[in-house]
Amino acid sequence: MRPMRDYFPILDWGRRYDRAALSDDLLAAVIVTIMLIPQSLAYALLAGLPAQAGLYASIVPIMLYAVLGTSRALAVGPVAVVSLMTAAAIGTVAQQGSMGYAAAALTLAFLSGAILVLMGLLRLGFVANFLSHPVIAGFITASGILIATSQAGHILGVGASGHTLPEMLSSLIRALPQTNGVTLLIGLSVTGFLFWVRRGLKPLLRRMGMGARAADIVTKAGPVLAVVASTLAVWGLDLEAQGVRVVGAVPQGLPPLTMPPLSADLVGALIVPALLISVIGFVESVSVAQTLAAKRRQRIDPDQELIGLGAANLGAAFTGGMPVTGGFARSVVNFDAGAATAAAGVFTAVGLAVAAVALTPLIFHLPIATLAATIIVAVLSLVDLGILRRAWAYSRTDFLAVAATILATLTMGVEAGVSSGVALSIALHLYKTSRPHVAEMGLVPGTQHFRNILRHDVRTDPAILTLRIDESLYFANARFLEDLLAERVTPDCALRHVVLMCSAVNEIDLSALESLEAIAHRLDSMGIALHLSEVKGPVMDRLKATDFLARLSGRVFLSQYDAWVALAGPRGAAA
Amino acid sequence: MRPMRDYFPILDWGRRYDRAALSDDLLAAVIVTIMLIPQSLAYALLAGLPAQAGLYASIVPIMLYAVLGTSRALAVGPVAVVSLMTAAAIGTVAQQGSMGYAAAALTLAFLSGAILVLMGLLRLGFVANFLSHPVIAGFITASGILIATSQAGHILGVGASGHTLPEMLSSLIRALPQTNGVTLLIGLSVTGFLFWVRRGLKPLLRRMGMGARAADIVTKAGPVLAVVASTLAVWGLDLEAQGVRVVGAVPQGLPPLTMPPLSADLVGALIVPALLISVIGFVESVSVAQTLAAKRRQRIDPDQELIGLGAANLGAAFTGGMPVTGGFARSVVNFDAGAATAAAGVFTAVGLAVAAVALTPLIFHLPIATLAATIIVAVLSLVDLGILRRAWAYSRTDFLAVAATILATLTMGVEAGVSSGVALSIALHLYKTSRPHVAEMGLVPGTQHFRNILRHDVRTDPAILTLRIDESLYFANARFLEDLLAERVTPDCALRHVVLMCSAVNEIDLSALESLEAIAHRLDSMGIALHLSEVKGPVMDRLKATDFLARLSGRVFLSQYDAWVALAGPRGAAA
């Protein structure tokens, strides 16, 4: 039974909360709130939802995570990749802009939340392990490209549709003649401004004598500045008359209480996307949380993180939100701004609630193109095609997994991309371990060490064949070993002993045991004894439970040198 | 480029063929022919096909295998498990007894043959590795039960339908009142006689002074005796008038030339069953071939075996046959009877061709119940529920794979059984390797050896944590290692060095490399250095291609003792 405090981390840090932590948390909350207002609106737009869904998804979910999550700095809310996956998932069940579309987003958040909480209670966090780094890196890069392309339409002032790159590009090209010049001007100016803020503003402020922290805060306020300036421009110059699309009326007030529709059809259609969103969101979130926690020697508990993120999503489902997870950029900002506890998250939520109540009328004239520019600048930092080069340099199989994931995501959409990446990594792993490295070993003269005969000048004995197997023996490579021995041993008539060095064999499963029995039996009928050496404790325990050792024609030696002394005799040992 | 002789093994043994080999092969062929006549008829019956399909499938296929196969003793033809799978597959596309049904069997043989040849040419034999021994053992046991149950209907003289155990049993129970007493009498007598021949006849003949080999031959002729006796009884007593079902008219003559229908619908419906039949047939066949070859220090080439078996199936498809593979019992008989080369197979084919031309009128009155009894006695030796006990004793995961395969095969049929067994073994393997054994190590005083601190009385240093990881590091366990280190290291403030002993790490993939980088980074921010020791050559080569080692806060030590001496200082080294 886990103690209550493990399920409610707030009981731990809450008891020791003091004035110093309060002032740190308040400052961090102000900075993160300023950053989150345009981001929440933009990611709602990316998901195809009304702007307020993004704000709502950042209020109650943040509070629930503060109570249940184990990271002190993680900031949850709508993030780019999850918003893209949301759009892809609910685009298949409802028409964008319809009532059913926003309702389906609630269902998706509910299902993701339920899956995450269930995985947390069943301690199934390890499922996330099957998303390898290359698959995640490839998926995020491809998602960044898809997101930037989808937003390019808003910069041009035209609609771009589709969930794959070819669909999006062809719809963009068809719509190109309808480009709205004023919208394009706003979009390009804001994009250029935001890039400049990222690259040029901070060094400039530092050169002007501003402190590092202050420069950082001003830089983070860049998107807000762009929002204010472009909103004023549209309002003052009445650019809506020129065809510039704006956010429009956003309901004023606190998040509403909503009930996610849970019809069997809808649940059936969204359960697989919800699972993928949960796992991707969890993997992203937990790695940010772990990195930030280590910097202050704090710990996060991955299984409890599942519960925290799950509760955040359930909260989003019941308060008019959308699927959420821990965001990378906002969490780093929160941490750097000095957030001491999860209370910073609660204060951020309060700040956003104030915005939802007081500021929504002010964003009526905010141009969509500005939000699109915010998204494009944010996601382009996710696009890292260098992963292809790094994976190629490291190993061909990792490269294949990255390349296939990117290609599948771009051409078949996010769900097919993740699924095929996972399936391919597993297949490649099985293929690799099905053909293990096996080295023929010899004695290094004057020592008790054995080395690969192909790499070193070592002593061997024509009557003894020593093979070191560099892999656990299990069903996928059991037959490989049978074939390899048959090929190596059959033509070699001088051979009397085969020794398998098992120092790197971490497991022998039942298939491999039966293969070893078959090998022993076949060697026996050729008058050759089979020996084992350097068998690990756990493997030996398991072999002892069978009659394999009793029926073995040869012996089991503690060390390979013992085997050599016993089999090669005094002549060999004296070498 | 492989030499021609590798593709046509007959060119190898054919050149050295002599009179001694001829006489050995002829004797073996006579014995195997006698054994195969009732077996071929029986397995055709099991597949729901006319009796002659079994005979035809044993003529041309055997000849093609003799030319292309690498085993000298393997006897190919219809076998029990493949016949059951054939019935299950074509039962879904055609009505048993119809023209379409026999034609679909040709298509299935054609597809299996094409798949096998393709796998052979592409050297894809390793695909068979993913059928683990527990899955095969469970599948064959469950198939044996299904086959015996399906034949019980013929013994009762009623029809039993269905492809799963519950279906078969309920149809048997419903049909019970229609039991034909005379058929039941014949069925039970033949079954009892055949069991007695298996268990009691051979020892009896030996006690009567007969030689071992002669006793063996007489025993193998048991089924033929049963066929002759029961046929004579039915004919002499006119038992067909009592409702005893007989084989009836079988066309007299050599195998016809047939063209397997290849409509897109049929191919689409049969391609997955054909793949499963190919892989199961190949795995069974190659393990028999390898065991027999080893006894005479001969080799078989698994990729060429695929071509040989594939050609045999293509042969069956074009000569009115059914899917075939290498049979266990008939191959052992062939080998024991002294077959020296694949020519024994050719002579067997000639013997069966003579039977097809001359003997078919004689089997008109052969009762179906006799064939069913032959099948039941043959397959009951396949049923080995002891595999459940052995797997349980060896490991829980292997047990789970066996039990699930048996259960799925019995309740959902052969295809679902194999597929779920394969999927489950892969999932269990990944789960196991995702939680590797990690041991905390200490120095055995007075030596340079390190052992698990939980199992041995060893020296440790509070500033140094040494962990031996007993598994390759790859995506499925990368996060496990991160979590484990975070948990172990965070609360331990005395720690200055973490050493990962990599003696059992056979691979580090890109995911694991990035996890190691994250671990190094996080340890760094706690003021702890990360070191590696005993890294294998191939793993080290790969790490050197990255900047991981350059950025590592600690060092890479050749041996764990070097690490200890360097990190613990003279105090530790003097221990």
Give dist(CA B78, CA B84) in Å, integer: 10
Give the pLDDT band of residue B1 (cuts 50, 70, 90): low
Report the pLDDT value the prediction gives residue A488, as an integer from 0 to 100. Answer: 87
Given a cut of 60, whether residue B574 has pLDDT beyond it is: no
Q: Which two tokens stand for residue B546?
A: 């990255």
Cβ-contact B286, B69 below 8 angstroms? no
Q: Which two tokens stand for residue A132?
A: 């390898």
Given a cut of 50, whether residue A101 has pLDDT beyond it is: yes
Shortest CA distance from A521: residue in chain B: B291
- What percentage of chain B exceeds 70 in pLDDT? 98
DSSP string, B510-556: HHHHHHHHHHHHHHHHTT-EEEEES--HHHHHHHHTSSHHHH-SS-E
Cβ-contact B15, B316 below 8 angstroms? no
Chain A positions touching B429 (Cβ under 8 A) are: 430, 474-476, 509
Report for A123-137, A197-211, A400-414: range of highest mean pLDDT = A400-414
Report the pLDDT value the prediction gives residue B575, as an integer from 0 to 100. Answer: 44
Residue of B281, B259, B228 whose CA lies nearest to B418: B281
Report the pLDDT value the prediction gives residue B343, as an integer from 0 to 100. Answer: 84
Give dist(CA B401, CA B391) in Å, integer: 9
Give dist(CA A156, CA A158) in Å, integer: 6
The neighbouring-strand residues paired with A76 are: A326
From chain B residues 331-390, the ones with a CB under 8 A of any chain A CB are: 390
Under an 8 A CB cutoff, do B513 and A435 touch?
Answer: no
Report the pLDDT value the prediction gives residue A416, as an integer from 0 to 100. Answer: 86
Residue range B77-81: average pLDDT? 90
Residue range A309-331: average pLDDT? 92
Under an 8 A CB cutoff, do A294 and B507 touch?
Answer: no
Residue range A143-155: average pLDDT? 89
Given a cut of 70, whether residue A202 has pLDDT beyond it is: yes
Chain B positions touching A546 (Cβ under 8 A) are: 390, 393-394
Given a cut of 50, whether residue B350 has pLDDT beyond it is: yes
The number of angstroms, rounded, from the C-alpha of A528 to the middle of its chain's C-alpha atoms is 51
Residue range A190-208: average pLDDT? 86
In sequence order, what are the residues at sequence separation of 6 or more whose Cβ sits closer than 8 angstroms to the Cβ of residue B369? B154, B155, B157, B183, B184, B186, B187, B190, B230, B244, B245
DSSP string, B97-157: TSHHHHHHHHHHHHHHHHHHHHHHHTT-GGGGGGS-HHHHHHHHHHHHHHHHHHHHHHHHT
pLDDT single digits (tens) B209-222? 888 777 877 777 78
The neighbouring-strand residues paired with B500 are: B467, B532
Report the pLDDT value the prediction gives residue A493, as an integer from 0 to 100. Answer: 83
Cα A530 to Cα A90, A498, A527, B81, B100: the distances in Å are 61, 5, 10, 33, 53
What is the pairing mode between strands A325-326 and A76-77?
Answer: antiparallel
Residue of B34, B55, B117 whose CA lies nearest to B256: B55
Residue range A167-196: average pLDDT? 90
Query: Between A264-295 and A133-156, two packed helices, what is the crossing angle to 10 degrees?
Result: 110
Report the pLDDT value the prediction gives residue A499, as an integer from 0 to 100. Answer: 94
Report the pLDDT value the prediction gives residue B506, as an integer from 0 to 100. Answer: 86
Q: What is the mean pLDDT of chain B?
A: 87
Report the pLDDT value the prediction gives residue B129, as an integer from 0 to 100. Answer: 77
Residue range B458-463: average pLDDT? 89
From chain A residues 465-524, the ones with a CB under 8 A of any chain B CB are: 470-472, 474-480, 482-483, 486-487, 490-491, 503-504, 506-507, 509-511, 513-515, 518, 521-523
**Higher local confidence (pLDDT), A192 or B214:** A192
Give the pLDDT band of residue A2 (cuts 50, 70, 90): low
The arrangement of strands across the sheet holding B556-557 comes to: B450-452, B438-443, B464-469, B497-501, B529-533, B556-557
Lowest-confidence region among A114-123, A316-325, B66-75: B66-75
Tell me phi and psi for residue B529, to 5 degrees.
-95, 145
Report the pLDDT value the prediction gives residue B406, as an integer from 0 to 100. Answer: 93
Instruction: Give residue A211's region: left, alpha or beta (phi > 0; psi -120 to 50).
Output: beta
Mutate to test the interface with A, among B510, B514, B539, B540 (most CBs of A within 10 A): B510
DSSP letter at A126 equals: G
Chain B positions touching A128 (Cβ under 8 A) are: 479
Residue range B199-210: average pLDDT? 84
Shortest CA distance from A129: residue in chain B: B476
Give dist(CA A456, CA A459) in Å, integer: 10
Give the pLDDT band of residue B39 (cuts 50, 70, 90): confident
Residue range A52-68: average pLDDT? 92
Given a cut of 90, whether residue B500 has pLDDT beyond it is: yes
pLDDT single digits (tens) A255-266? 888 999 988 889
Give the pLDDT band of residue A106 (cuts 50, 70, 90): very high
Q: Which two tokens stand for residue B59?
A: 């003529």
Give the pLDDT band of residue A575 (cuts 50, 70, 90): very low
In sequence order, what are the residues at sequence separation of 6 or more whose Cβ sits closer than 8 angstroms to the Cβ of residue B396? none
Task: Give how far B390 is from chain A: nearest CA, Å.
Answer: 8
Residue range A205-210: average pLDDT? 84
Cβ-contact B505, B539 below 8 angstroms? yes
- What percentage of chain B exceeds 90 in pLDDT? 26
Chain A positions touching B395 (Cβ under 8 A) are: 509-510, 542
Under an 8 A CB cutoff, do A431 and B126 touch?
Answer: yes
Q: Token pair 């005893």 is at which residue?
A: B244
Report for A306-320, B32-46, B438-452: range of highest mean pLDDT = A306-320
ipTM of the complex in this document = 0.75
pLDDT single digits (tens) A480-511? 888 888 888 888 888 999 999 998 888 898 88
**Higher local confidence (pLDDT), A297 or A454:** A454
Q: What is the mean pLDDT of chain A?
A: 87
DSSP string, A291-356: HHHHHTT----HHHHHHHHHHHHHHHHHTT----EE-HHHHHHHHHTT--STHHHHHHHHHHHHHH
Chain A positions touching B526 (Cβ under 8 A) are: 294, 297
pLDDT single digits (tens) B296-328? 777 778 889 999 999 999 999 999 999 999 988
Residue of B230, B534, B179 whose CA lies nearest to B363: B230
Give dist(CA B316, CA B257) in Å, integer: 10
Q: Which two tokens stand for residue A301?
A: 């508990």
Nearest CB to A133 within list B433, B506, B511: B511
Can you tell me whether residue A460 is helix, strand or coil? coil
Report the pLDDT value the prediction gives residue A570, as an integer from 0 to 100. Answer: 61
pTM: predicted TM-score of the whole model, two decimal places: 0.76
Buried/exposed B295-314: b ≥16 CB within 10 Å, e otherwise:
eebbbbbbbbbbbbbbbbbb
pLDDT single digits (tens) B150-174? 889 889 888 777 888 998 899 899 9
Report the pLDDT value the prediction gives residue A3, as an integer from 0 to 100. Answer: 67
